[in-house]
């Protein structure tokens, strides 16, 4: 049976289909995102697993060793960036002092070269930054909750990888 539809009706059906696909994907992202990332990681470790199996390691142990190696690699990666952030936090006092010096030199330059310029201070800058934080606290809260959700998904991924 061949049904002839007008062009505008075909376009409406296509648009409704696209909207439905987007809605379903948005609602299913809690399952789809970890599955896709786990599939990617499974593909990433499959050569190492296959190499172990060719060397005579049983499949179960090859997968377990691959997951352990992936976990160690990711932990080392996270540890590296964690140390970098800690180092940056140790240098924050020096960064703040240097920023104060730069602001003071800008204020001196503005006072010397521009009439009627209003100098600004580090306190004004801090107050502005904290006011922005207070104004956007709901966005920051959503970001923290999203990060927690991502961490939960990271713990679920080895299960998905193992079953892939």
CA distance 76 to 87: 16
Other Cβ atoms closer than 10 A to 49: 20
Residue 150 falls within a domain, yes or no?
yes
pTM: 0.51
Residue 133 falls within a domain, yes or no?
yes
Residue 19 falls within a domain, yes or no?
no
Residue 25 falls within a domain, yes or no?
no
Residue 111 falls within a domain, yes or no?
no
Q: Is the pLDDT confidence value at 19 over 90?
A: yes
Residue 156 falls within a domain, yes or no?
yes
Residue 127 falls within a domain, yes or no?
yes
| Cα three-residue angle 133-135-138, rounded to 5 degrees | 85
pLDDT band at 55; cut points 50, 70, 90: very high
pLDDT band at 17; cut points 50, 70, 90: very high
How many structural domains compose the chain? 1
Domain that holds residue 46: 33-90+121-163
Q: Which residue has the tokens 């004004």?
A: 124
Q: Looking at residue 127, what is its pLDDT?
A: 75
Residue 81 falls within a domain, yes or no?
yes
CA distance 87 to 118: 35
């Amino acid at each position: 049976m061949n049904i002839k539809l007008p062009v505008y009706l075909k376009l409406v059906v296509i648009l409704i289909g696209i909207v439905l696909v987007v809605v379903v994907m948005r609602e299913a992202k809690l399952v789809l995102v970890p599955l896709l990332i786990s599939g990617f990681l499974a593909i990433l470790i499959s050569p190492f697993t296959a190499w172990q199996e060719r060397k005579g390691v049983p499949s179960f142990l090859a997968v377990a060793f691959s997951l352990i190696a992936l976990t160690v690699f990711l932990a080392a990666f996270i540890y590296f960036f964690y140390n970098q952030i800690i180092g940056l936090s140790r240098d924050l006092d020096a960064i703040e002092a240097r920023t104060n010096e730069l602001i003071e030199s800008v204020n001196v330059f503005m006072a010397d070269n521009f009439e009627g310029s209003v100098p600004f201070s580090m306190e004004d800058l801090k107050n502005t930054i904290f006011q922005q934080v207070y104004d956007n606290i709901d966005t920051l809260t959503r970001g923290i909750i999203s990060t927690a959700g991502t961490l939960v998904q990271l713990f679920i991924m080895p299960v998905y990888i193992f079953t892939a």
